[in-house]
Amino acid sequence: MIASDNVPYHGIVPPILTPIGLDGQVDLRSLFRLTRWLIREGVHGIWACGTTGEFPCFDVDEREHVIGTCVEAAGASIPVIANISDCSTRLVIEHGKRALRAGADAVAVTPPYYYSNSQDELLDLYRCVRDEIHAPLFIYNIPSTVKVRVEVDTIVTLAAEGTIAGIKDSQNDLDFARTLVQRVAQRGASLRIFLGTRSLIDAGLLIGAHGAIPGIANVVPRACVDAYEAAARGDWAAAAEAQQRVSESIRLTRIAKGSAQAAAMGGMKAALKAIGVIAHSSVAAPLRSPSPEEEEQIVGLARELGMREVVPA
């Protein structure tokens, strides 16, 4: 592993898509190519088995293979953060052990899903995971999918005691993020704060966040990196221009029919297929994959947005 609690995680960390073949199996060869391409585009880390990576749809072996493939492709050039979330502390710890065996540099955990948990139960969860999994631990705060929000008091408590190293907050709530930044500073704690939303890359840095983990970085990584780097050097005009390129690319995620999640992931996969990064646009059933007609529209839009065929490295 190349990272530790003291490594300053920062920048654009794509929550990498998990390519799937026509047989419904994980396409590790395409995943390897995607990871390598993202690194060439300048990203600062990889977030494996996240929501955009369809992690709940895969078994324990598949999740381990995904993490291992990202680690292999990264080749110690950037850190790989593995989401190890599940419905109980025991299952999370098992995923964590597998993630470390696969070479992950850090791990991330949502509140357990299905049952709703209290903040005291979440404190116990993160402390138990950190005791058993000897790697930097990130909170993955995404109440839209797990029903429970990790509150500011809980986050600050865990940061102050050294249980967690960072957080991905996917609420699209700048007020929450700013309050968290301020409270962490007041306690004198250390916490790497990432926003999980595509439209707040520059705004996040302005309020004191350390980077972003937006799903759209899978298809426009350079625009996301440009927005981050411009904001980091205080060039807000350049950051706004790059942020506009990011916003325009969202159209790729709204063409396919089906659920919003299927349209987003399928749209991005179809765009990556069009430029030769991955082999198929399939998403995990019962999510609906793009139809041939929808793929054709996505290909046209990808060209309009300036996405070009990738030459193998």
Q: Are 252 and 308 in contact (CB under 8 A)?
A: no
Catalytic residue set: 140, 168
The Cα-based distances of 294 to 248, 249, 254 in angstroms read: 18, 16, 10
- Report how far residue 111's alpha carbon sits from residue 146's, in angstroms, rounded to the nearest whole number: 7
The owner of tokens 């705060």 is 141
* The CATH homologous superfamily of the domain defined by 11-244: Aldolase class I (3.20.20.70)
Q: What is the mean pLDDT of the chain?
A: 95
pLDDT at 17: 98
* pLDDT score of 305 more than 60: yes
- Report how far residue 263's alpha carbon sits from residue 27's, in angstroms, rounded to the nearest whole number: 19
pLDDT at 309: 86
* pLDDT score of 66 more than 80: yes
pLDDT at 216: 98
Q: What angle do CA 46, 218, 194 make, to 5 degrees?
A: 50
pLDDT at 42: 97
Residues 219-263 pLDDT 10s: 999 999 999 999 999 999 999 999 999 999 999 999 999 899 999
Q: Among candidates 222, 219, 221, 285, which has minimal Cα distance to 255?
A: 219
Split at pLDDT 50, 70, 90, the class of 9 is very high
Calculate mean pLDDT across residues 49-53.
Answer: 97
Residues 94-112 pLDDT 10s: 999 999 999 999 999 999 9
Split at pLDDT 50, 70, 90, the class of 128 is very high
Q: Are 225 and 41 in contact (CB under 8 A)?
A: yes
Model confidence, pTM: 0.95
Residues 171-214 pLDDT 10s: 999 999 999 999 999 999 999 999 998 889 999 999 999 999 99
Enclosing H/E stretch for 182: helix 174-187
